Structure 1
Amino acid sequence: MDASQVDELVSRVHAQYDALRFKPSSELQFTVLAAFVLSKTSYDVGDSGSSESTTAWKVISIATGSKCLPTEKYPVKGDALHDSHAEVLSRRGAVRWTYEEIRRCLHTASGSAWIERRETDGKWAMKEGVKLHMYVSTVPCGDASMRYLASGQDPAMAALKDSSPPALPTQGSASRGRDNYALFGVLRTKPGRADSPPTRCMSCSDKIAAWSILGVQGALLAQMFEPLCVDDIVIGLGDVEESDEVLRAAVREDCDRAFFGRLGDDIQARGYRKSTPRVLFTSIDFVHSRSSRSKANGKPCNQSSNESLCWWADSETPHEVLINGVRRGVGAKLRGLELYRPRLCKVAIFRLHAGVMELLRRPKPKGSYHICKQSNPDYGIVRKALKGPDGPFHGWVISGVEWESFDVDGNIVPNTSSSESEGHIDENLNH
């Protein structure tokens, strides 16, 4: 994409966000916005022989957020979200849109402008020429944001946000949150709060890197859809002057390393291989970013919103707002009912997956969510190469089979699959 196309993409994302009329509950709060967008460029040759290009765009998912639940509050029935970072929620929204687009194709004769079913193997894929773009209103947390965050800190805090290469992790090792980036770590605590409840959640930089190999579709959708990799990642740098070429070059270098450079080139299986998305910047600031809120209030805005917006295109139901992983306004007694679950939670996606599998006349999932994710051998080979003993992410945190032992109805069922250490695929890579 050239600069005008980047601006077009960002403007469309922001326009869709504005149309949803969401904002943090306090003027003193900020949030992070992420989105997935499809594009397809066509070329028309005129009478003079010159060609003109036209690009069609489709924003397929939008989300906001920057929070995670502590491990002690993880839902055992998959009926809440433990990770509400914008990047993770928008990916889940893109996954849900893809399932629903397959369903729409099966119910209508017109098909889709974006996806199609291959005749060779019956799998679905994006149509030729369709590209997938990811937008994030700020640099994703973790490895990619080291020098970006350090640039705005005093020397003592900048030292915490060190840019040295991360040490190889050990299972269950300590914090890799907004601080101490030289540690790979897997159990995150709040900065300055050693006693705060840990959460089993990797940084968004780590998740994007995993998606660069495994695809954003996850293990379940991979049973019917080819690996879906991001072509471009557009990042908001509205608070960095375009003339600051040194910092922008540093951020680009960090993003390239974080998203794909630190991964080996030999991790692959049938249909899976490392992708290298282009990192592009935009100076168009997000209206509810930290910098925008600070300028509007005339003082620093340092409190992130607890609420998360979730939206995906062509849905029959409106967007929803989450707080602490559940739908805002839903009481504790109703949260376990299907009608009131977040539609991006594990069990909701699992149920949607089962319904689409039935429409495709393929075997309906049996057993637990955990077991169903193990049924794609090619995906499992790549996941093991990425997170196994010899992989670049061998210390990847495992959320645990105890939080994935539910069926499509949300009932707890026994697991009879291989051991957790051999068979688990973390939710942050899948659903």
Structure 2
Amino acid sequence: MGDIKPLEIADAVLERYRSLEIKEPDSANWTVIAGIVAEDTRSKQLRVVSVASGCKCPGAIVGKEDILKNNADIIKDSHAEVLARRGFIAAILEDKGLLRSDVRFHMFSSSPPCGDASIYEELDGSLRFTGAKLGDWRRESTEQVLGKTRTKPSRSDSIYRSASLSCTDKMIIWSLLGIQGAFIKTKITLSSLIVAAPHPKLIHSLRAALFRGILDRTHTFANEFCIPPPDLSIHVIANHYSGPAHCTKTKPSHLATAWWLSSYSSVERIVAHTGRLLGARSDSTKHSRLSTNALFELSDSQYQTRSEAKINSQYSILRRRLASRLIADFPADHPRKRRLLAHHFANNDIDESVDMRGALPLAKRSKLSPLPAYLLCSLC
């Protein structure tokens, strides 16, 4: 990382978040903070491109609504790392000047990413559990098995479980294919991932978990798909933040926050369990500017005609292939279930998600409305 230290990047993200002066409606809530920082390699100056907070996401069904039917307008994953990346994409779409050869990007997270990389040894020698779910809902006894693809922590009811992949698995995809999504043709990779450990004595075990859960699996997939391995460095720092992300509060916040470099100065607040803007009704036409439809419209506005707006086809093809391979890691007990998961993963969701109901023959399953072709692999 040259002369730039991980602590400086972490401080830049946290300082930007503090400047937003976010107030939680419930003082007992805690959250996770993440951000992406641009580093000018010549001047060594840092610039925060996006910052977000959040630790929840909707399940596959919210009330009586199947969110997969409206997935282009709803934020289905409000974890901080994912919102920070969405904000980064929006910032790049608005200002292509950020894509210079002398600029590299770093991500900071105030907490280990959910999923495989958050299973590590605690101070007392016990194994820290992750709430992220394995693919087979009936195999709860093996829920802490290592090296498996997982979906987001959520309710245990199979039909209501989140359909979004864990942050660990999403970071594998970002490391291999870039964080730019399919709206931007230039591959953009992270130079470093910086994670805050909950205790200084846990730095070593957390670093080992991050290397195992992200780097080792990423290199395995890179060899398998003949993709150049990412040049990603992982740094673990001691928690030096006394704000809401790390305290004795016991309830995860149901709200998420997103800010990014933009011609707009507003900050978005999202109700995590619905994926909609705070205060917006279910029938509201006002959606987050980080939704897939909004990002596509932002991308489309860069061209004079819609026919000129094309997604990165190579990215989309690789993502579909990687999707199938990741789903193969689900410990489902029948190959057909994995094929169903892979189909939904590759075709019906924008956020590296799977329709878990596809693996549940007894669960009530509704028909999925198809997305336009230009949105199938548009974002992740």
Q: TM-score, normalised by structure 2?
A: 0.77
Q: Deviations over 1:331-365 (max 9, x none)?
A: 334x2x2xx2100011111111111233xx77245
Is 1:82 the counterpart of 2:32? The answer is no
**Aligned residue-pair number:** 341
Give 1:218's aligned residue.
Answer: 181
The structure-2 alpha-carbon separation of the partners of 1:185 and 1:310, relative to structure 1 and needing over 3 Å to count, comes to same
* Residue pair 2:32, 2:53 contacting (<8 A) in 1 also: yes
* Residue pair 1:216, 1:227 contacting (<8 A) in 2 also: yes
* Residue pair 1:310, 1:321 contacting (<8 A) in 2 also: yes
The structure-2 alpha-carbon separation of the partners of 1:362 and 1:273, relative to structure 1 and needing over 3 Å to count, comes to farther
Give 2:362's aligned residue.
Answer: none
Shift of 1:14: 1.4
In structure 1, the gaps of 5 or more residues are: 43-53, 103-111, 116-126, 295-300, 366-371, 405-411, 418-422
Correspondence for 2:109 among 136, 153, 177: 136
Give 1:316's aligned residue.
Answer: 264
Partners of 1:321 and 1:175 in 2: CA distance: 35
SS at match of 1:279: strand
Is 1:388 the counterpart of 2:324? The answer is yes
Is 1:283 the counterpart of 2:283? The answer is no
Partners of 2:84 and 2:151 in 1: CA distance: 23
Correspondence for 1:100 among 94, 99, 114: 94
Correspondence for 1:232 among 180, 192, 202: 192
Shift of 1:197: 1.6
Code of the residue aligned with 1:151 in structure 2: it is E
Is 1:266 the counterpart of 2:209? The answer is no
Is 1:61 the counterpart of 2:47? The answer is no
Partners of 2:104 and 2:232 in 1: CA distance: 11
Q: Deviations over 1:94-153 (max 9, x none)?
A: 000000003xxxxxxxxx3x32xxxxxxxxxxx222111000001111111101xx5168
The structure-2 alpha-carbon separation of the partners of 1:256 and 1:187, relative to structure 1 and needing over 3 Å to count, comes to closer
Partners of 2:372 and 2:263 in 1: CA distance: 36
Partners of 2:372 and 2:75 in 1: CA distance: 25
In structure 2, the gaps of 5 or more residues are: 331-337, 351-367
Give 1:28's aligned residue.
Answer: 28
Give 1:356's aligned residue.
Answer: 302
Code of the residue aligned with 1:76 in structure 2: it is K
* Residue pair 1:216, 1:228 contacting (<8 A) in 2 also: yes
Is 1:303 the counterpart of 2:262? The answer is no
The structure-2 alpha-carbon separation of the partners of 1:24 and 1:196, relative to structure 1 and needing over 3 Å to count, comes to farther
Q: TM-score, normalised by structure 1?
A: 0.69
Give 2:16's aligned residue.
Answer: 16
Code of the residue aligned with 1:37 in structure 2: it is V
Shift of 1:388: 3.0
* Residue pair 2:61, 2:159 contacting (<8 A) in 1 also: no
Partners of 1:416 and 1:80 in 2: CA distance: 16
Q: Deviations over 1:359-400 (max 9, x none)?
A: xx77245xxxxxx7xx54422342244233598768676357
The structure-2 alpha-carbon separation of the partners of 1:195 and 1:20, relative to structure 1 and needing over 3 Å to count, comes to same
Q: Deviations over 1:58-93 (max 9, x none)?
A: 100011101111111315232121110001000000
Partners of 1:233 and 1:88 in 2: CA distance: 14
* Residue pair 2:32, 2:109 contacting (<8 A) in 1 also: yes
* Residue pair 2:176, 2:230 contacting (<8 A) in 1 also: yes
